[in-house]
């Protein structure tokens, strides 16, 4: 879309995080501009996890960490919007600069470190926003909470977001919070999920509604650990998995400016690895367990490849920066009426 290309040229002349802040501030003040930039919302109703999605395309976590522009993203035509990651207390995140573009590869590297205004501020905004899209809230731990006490942070957030979220995502896969990915280790994962499942029982009784809980996982994981996570998630009644977060791998961008920066790589170079994780998960969990695929989508064809790998729904982040809001309807159209592949028709992981 021409209007977005012009805006992008101006934004790309600025530091990556600064242009992110300006865009979010604009969308927050002018929610109607979300709809103007993206075209007509694609209606492709889907029922999953007891929720009704107007299409299969969602906003990935981290773009609107504080829920400041939910209405603008709603008007952009997303079927669902995931805000956060939010932590119990506000925190500044890592020192700047901490977000870098690699334009030739349509990629970003970030080490923001869960900079956010805290769960209370997010809940206050989410409670009064008008929207049609499903709202997910992604929860995490504060940087200064020892990993041994991480469960308490997730519990505190779960309790606070329960009344306003349609679903809750437990983020244990950001590479930018020290030791966070240790929570993917079997013993810690098991204990965290048991605690959250227990708390959800109480909350279900209190609110008369059982909210889906999903877990978001990293792409940098070996097969045994992946299978362990998938099995534990099902054992504890987790409702779905989101694959994947950013990667710490750099092979796809080696030698390019900023490739050496510490943090998580997102965008086009992540597509293949993230799709492989989705395909492996689908193989393990069977046809009915909800999977949300995220990582590297830059076109409708990329979204279709993720669906073919086994995703029920997809999410976008970096593609939105490079392609603009038109990507939302392009992907939703590409996924309209699709069914994901059976093992016999699924493309080979090597292709």
Ligand X SMILES: Cc1cc2nc3c(=O)[nH]c(=O)nc-3n(C[C@H](O)[C@H](O)[C@H](O)COP(=O)(O)O)c2cc1C
The set of catalytic residues is 174
Smaller CB distance to ligand X: residue 203 or 297?
297
Output the smallest distance, CB 318 to ligand X, in A: 3
DSSP state of 116: B
Backbone angles phi, psi at 59, to 5 degrees: -85, 130
Residues that bind ligand X (CB under 6 A): 60-62, 65, 85, 99, 108, 110, 112, 114, 138, 171, 174, 216, 245-246, 266-267, 270, 294-297, 316-319
Using CA atoms in the order 62, 63, 66, 71, what is the torsion angle rounded to 10 degrees?
A: -140
Smaller CB distance to ligand X: residue 174 or 305?
174
Smaller CB distance to ligand X: residue 24 or 286?
24
Smaller CB distance to ligand X: residue 41 or 298?
298
Output the smallest distance, CB 11 to ligand X, in A: 14
Which residues, 6+ apart, have CB-to-CB distance to 325 below 8 Å? 1, 4, 34, 37, 38, 39, 76, 77
Output the smallest distance, CB 260 to ligand X, in A: 17
The residue whose Cβ lies closest to ligand X is: 62
Q: What angle do CA 18, 20, 24 make, to 5 degrees?
A: 120
Output the smallest distance, CB 109 to ligand X, in A: 8
Coil, helix or strand at residue 322: helix
From residue 221, alpha-carbon distances to 14, 175, 195, 277 in Å are 34, 12, 23, 9
DSSP state of 270: G
* Dist CA 157 CA 169 (whole Å): 11
């Amino acid at each position: 879309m021409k209007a977005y290309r012009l805006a992008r040229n101006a934004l790309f002349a600025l530091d990556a995080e600064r242009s992110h802040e300006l865009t979010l501030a604009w969308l927050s003040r002018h929610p109607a501009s979300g709809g103007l930039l993206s075209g007509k919302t694609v209606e492709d109703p889907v029922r999953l996890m007891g929720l009704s999605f107007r299409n299969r395309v969602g906003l990935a976590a981290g773009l609107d960490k504080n829920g400041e522009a939910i209405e603008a993203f709603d008007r952009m035509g997303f079927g669902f919007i995931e805000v956060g990651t939010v932590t119990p207390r506000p925190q500044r995140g890592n020192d700047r600069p901490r977000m870098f573009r690699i334009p030739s590869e349509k990629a970003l590297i970030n080490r923001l470190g869960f900079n956010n205004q805290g769960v209370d501020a997010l809940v206050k905004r989410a409670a009064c926003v008008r929207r049609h899209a499903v709202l997910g809230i992604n929860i995490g731990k504060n940087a200064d909470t020892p990993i041994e006490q991480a469960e308490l942070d997730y519990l505190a957030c779960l309790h606070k977001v329960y009344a306003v979220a349609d679903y809750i995502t437990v983020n244990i896969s950001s590479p930018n919070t020290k030791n966070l990915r240790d929570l993917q280790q079997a013993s810690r994962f098991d204990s965290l999920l048991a605690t959250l499942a227990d708390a959800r029982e109480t909350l279900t009784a209190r609110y008369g509604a059982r909210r889906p809980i999903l877990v978001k996982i990293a792409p940098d994981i070996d097969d045994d650990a992946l299978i362990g996570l998938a099995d534990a998630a099902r054992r504890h009644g987790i409702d779905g998995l989101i694959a994947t977060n950013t990667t710490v791998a750099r092979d796809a961008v080696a030698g390019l400016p900023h490739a050496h920066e510490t943090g998580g790589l997102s965008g086009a170079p992540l597509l293949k690895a993230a799709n492989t994780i989705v395909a492996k998960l689908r193989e393990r969990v069977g046809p009915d367990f909800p999977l949300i695929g995220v990582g590297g989508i830059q076109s409708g064809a990329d979204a279709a490849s993720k669906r073919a790998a086994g995703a029920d729904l997809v999410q976008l982040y970096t593609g939105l920066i490079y392609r603009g809001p038109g990507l939302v309807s392009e992907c939703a159209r590409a996924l309209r009426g699709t069914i994901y592949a059976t093992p016999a028709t699924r493309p080979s992981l090597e292709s």
